[in-house]
Amino acid sequence: VEIVGAPIFNDTKNLKGAVLVFHDITELKRSEQTRKDFVANVSHELKTPMTSIRGFAETLLDGAMEEEELREQFLTIILNESQRLQTLVHDLLELSKLEHDELKLNRKLINISSLLDDILPIVSHQAQQKNITFNTTVKNTIEIVADPERLKQVFINLINNAINYTPNNGNISLSIETIDMFVRIIVSDNGIGISEESRDRIFERFYRVDKARSRNTGGTGLGLAIVKHIVEAHQGSIKVESKIDKGTTFCILLPKQ
């Protein structure tokens, strides 16, 4: 609590009392803490790949370059880590635009099927590599007024997560249908699931249930925060249901107009 006080005097200039104003600054402190945590997280996430890039480049220059096997191995690490940095910076900029309402949605009438034509070949290929069965159901022709690039991002992030957090030979399904004035998108997997405590937090920036696992699969911990912002920018809503070791289902409702 922050207290601001002022004395009150009577006509003869004697102290009569005081006014005290109590400001509840809990919310202010909390958002300050969130901002500090965010900066600390960003620094840490950027530092890790940078340290690694620098270290391997130095080792190469110190002589490892002479050995063909090491050279290839170290250059591959440098390439992967720089790709990681690129994804991270891209996601951070994206999130920052979304959070500052700077992102102007480029809304137009789009056909969901043609949108999926751009995405499905990529994600199906990723699913195949883990021998995951990927089913898509699009009921009738679905049209929606939305930003096509942002909507693609939503699909890609959710499906990538479903693939990353589902063991080999699993099942993933994407189903899209119109319900009254809304389009409902459901992405469901039979993967590792999310505990009840974590479920409320997965939309926070950098929150990951298992940091090592997320990093190994190329995750930045920002994907769902971005998804939620995009959905809300379209006046939609997102919900998640999950059971540990049974699977996870994300359900999005977007107004058609």
Please identify which residue in 56, 132, 150, 248 interacts with ligand ADP, judged by CB under 6 A: 248
In the shown chain, the binding pattern of residues 212 to 231 toward ligand ADP, with x for contact by CB under 6 A and - for none, equals --x----xxxxxxx------
Residue of closest CB approach to ligand ADP: 219
The Cα 34–Cα 25 span in angstroms is: 14
The stretch near ligand ADP (CB under 6 A) out of 82-90, 111-119, 130-138, 161-169 is 161-169
Query: Residue 95 is encoded by which pair of tokens?
Result: 């999130």
Q: What letters, b where the CB count within 10 A reaches 16 and e where it falls short, cover 21-38?
A: eeeeeeeeeeeeeeeeee
Binding of residue 190 to ligand ADP (CB under 6 A): no
Q: Does 49 bind ligand ADP (CB under 6 A)?
A: no
Q: Which is nearer to ligand ADP, 153 or 161 (CB)?
A: 161
The tokens for 178 are: 């119109």
From candidates 95, 161, 183, 230, binder to ligand ADP by CB under 6 A: 161
Number of residues that bind ligand ADP (CB under 6 A): 23
Nearest to 90 by CA among 218, 196, 186: 218
Return the closest-CA partner of residue 103 out of 219, 205, 226: 226
Pairing of strands 171-179, 133-138: parallel
**What tokens appear for 218 in the block?**
């190329």
Burial class (CB in 10 A: 0-12, 13-18, 19+), 146: buried
**The residue to which tokens 């620094």 are assigned:** 43
DSSP state of 66: G
In this chain, which stretch among 124-132, 141-149, 178-186, 204-212 interacts with ligand ADP, using CB under 6 A?
A: 204-212
192 near ligand ADP, rule: CB under 6 A: yes
| Under rule CB under 6 A, residue 188 binds ligand ADP | no
- 58 vs 210 by CB, closer to ligand ADP: 210
| Token reading at 208 | 């990951």
| CB of 93 vs ligand ADP, minimal distance in Å | 16
**List 150, 208, 229, 234, residue binding ligand ADP (CB under 6 A):** 208
Contacting residues toward ligand ADP, per CB under 6 A = 157, 161-162, 165, 189, 191-194, 202, 207-210, 214, 219-225, 248
